[in-house]
Structure 1
């Protein structure tokens, strides 16, 4: 059985030791090729080639950004889920949302052990993906506040800061109080045959639950989101201090759905579009992708086979 291991050597917990141990374990089971990413977009190119050349299993060792690139390469490289390599994600980033949403342990060694056991047992599952215009995502997307927070965190990491829950919380507070036009929300959500939801300040889209983690705590704006269903949406209207504080408190409560006059929720949606009068920060799977004025979202059922 042919396998490719894509390693992001810059991922938070991807040490030389982790790479060496994982490579030895995989080579005892597979005809393995190892590739280390060298630039943005390299993982997508490697995955696209793997799909086109008949690789059976594609392993990743890296964070959610590496996984997102890999998934987009797989989706471009083969026409149907059954013809694409199965994806096996070994946790190697700081948060590892996608791997943990699949039920894998947080650590790379434990995660690799579960994956190898699943492969020996022939165990896999087929999941849906989300798509934003022409790019796929595995667990979340966002337009507005949450994407602006991702941008601030990425800027801080470029300055040498370590990604921690405290860094994210400071970014949330800083963005909310100093960099948001909270009084004049301009995002609107349009669905075919449905009434438009307008005057939205921020929109969170989930392809599964949880949305993210703070340490070991899962954050679940949409607890009903699932890899087996369409997309779930949580949108906030005006970001008033009182109502936003209440919503954040609800988000931090385990499996409690946010509600209130400033909250818009949608469950199991197949398609919708977000439009805004002014460009808004945009993120997919925790990666900041610039500013957008319009994004079309669709759910892609049965898109990808994963080992877990």
Structure 2
């Protein structure tokens, strides 16, 4: 088995010490020939894998975060506007989490600890246990976890500025940046027009929604140990889910916005915010538009300011090594959520 391993040296937790713990587990896999390449600049991983097929490599191992995984997916699959390659013709994927959130790999059931994750991954590769998953597209590009206009994109842009100033993107800083972004959004909310169709033929049409997020899995992100989910029925097998808030004014609007970031998943305050919440699952296509340019993000990476995005769900898009699915967020007890919330601080 020929495997290409892509390392992002700028990922937040990579070090030579970590590599000394990770590589032996991979070298111990029988019949595995490992080729290692380092990314040198943004989009380098995408360039490395562009045009590769399973005749070149049986497996691509990504050592990095969601951004590097996103690049590899886009490199392998090419433009989302062309015919999608069959997953059997592409190298299988494997991910060892070394980013800040590592949403995709953790949502697949892996530990956030890269050493624990690589030992599970090694057993999966030895037994050839993999699954195909849905992916999302936005215009010509692909995403694996989430995409959105407005509030979540503004938060990620602010976090990028924090990183540029030399500070780590800790869960606490995410929460502080989020609080400021919510206050700004309540003063001048975005106006997102939404048109979506589900796999079952159901349709939704909404005008001037201030908060809208599309997710490809549940949870859609993590705050340290705390999984953040919005659509309990969502998974890598069910298409895209849309979560939105129609009105963010007043206390009910605030609770609705906080639902986006994992507050009140137990729906203790659902009577206050339920009338403002949009939950639309199994979307096959969705069109999001704004009268003025707003920030857009995909898989946690800012994609600039746009006025229109067409989203699409592509079933069985790529094959990836993964254990059994992790326990859904909505099955977590209130005690577990309070415990993890405290750990964030």
**TM-score range with shorter-chain normalisation?**
over 0.9
Q: 1:34 offset after TM fit, Å?
A: 0.4
| 1:197-216 equivalent positions in 2, closer than 5 A | 197-216=206-225
Q: 1:249 offset after TM fit, Å?
A: 5.2
CA distance in 2, matches of 1:22, 1:217: 25
Which runs of 5 or more structure 1 residues have no equivalent in the other structure? none
- What residue in structure 1 maps to residue 166 of structure 2? 160
| 1:9-88 equivalent positions in 2, closer than 5 A | 9-29=9-29, 30-51=32-53, 54-76=56-78, 79-88=85-94
CA RMSD of aligned residues (A): 2.0
- What residue in structure 1 maps to residue 256 of structure 2? 247
Structure 2 residue 191 is matched with structure 1 residue 186: yes
CA distance in 2, matches of 1:217, 1:42: 31
Conserved 8 A contact 2:3-2:58: yes
- What residue in structure 2 maps to residue 287 of structure 1? 301
CA distance in 2, matches of 1:55, 1:293: 39
CA distance in 2, matches of 1:79, 1:195: 30
Q: 1:186 offset after TM fit, Å?
A: 1.8
Conserved 8 A contact 1:2-1:31: yes
Q: CA 1:65–1:272 in 2, change beyond 3 Å: closer, same or farther?
A: same
> Any idea what the Cα deviations from partners look like across 1:209-252, whole Å, max 9, x if unmatched?
00111221211111111111111000112321412332255432
- What residue in structure 1 maps to residue 239 of structure 2? 230
- What residue in structure 2 maps to residue 278 of structure 1? 292
Conserved 8 A contact 2:248-2:256: no
- What residue in structure 1 maps to residue 327 of structure 2? none
CA distance in 1, matches of 2:250, 2:168: 28
Deviates more, 1:287-296 or 1:49-58: 49-58
Structure 2 residue 317 is matched with structure 1 residue 303: yes
CA distance in 2, matches of 1:221, 1:277: 26
Structure 2 residue 181 is matched with structure 1 residue 175: yes
Q: TM-score, with normalisation over the residues of structure 1? A: 0.93
CA distance in 2, matches of 1:249, 1:45: 38
CA distance in 2, matches of 1:81, 1:108: 26
Deviates more, 1:289-298 or 1:229-238: 229-238
Q: Aligned with 1:111: secondary structure?
A: helix
Conserved 8 A contact 1:223-1:256: no
CA distance in 2, matches of 1:183, 1:46: 42
Conserved 8 A contact 1:218-1:254: no
Conserved 8 A contact 1:187-1:275: yes
Which runs of 5 or more structure 2 residues have no equivalent in the other structure? 323-345
> Any idea what the Cα deviations from partners look like across 1:11-42, whole Å, max 9, x if unmatched?
01111122244334323432111011000100
Q: CA 1:52–1:73 in 2, change beyond 3 Å: closer, same or farther?
A: farther
Q: TM-score, with normalisation over the residues of structure 2? A: 0.84
Q: Aligned with 1:189: secondary structure?
A: strand
Q: Aligned with 1:177: secondary structure?
A: helix
Q: 1:76 offset after TM fit, Å?
A: 2.2
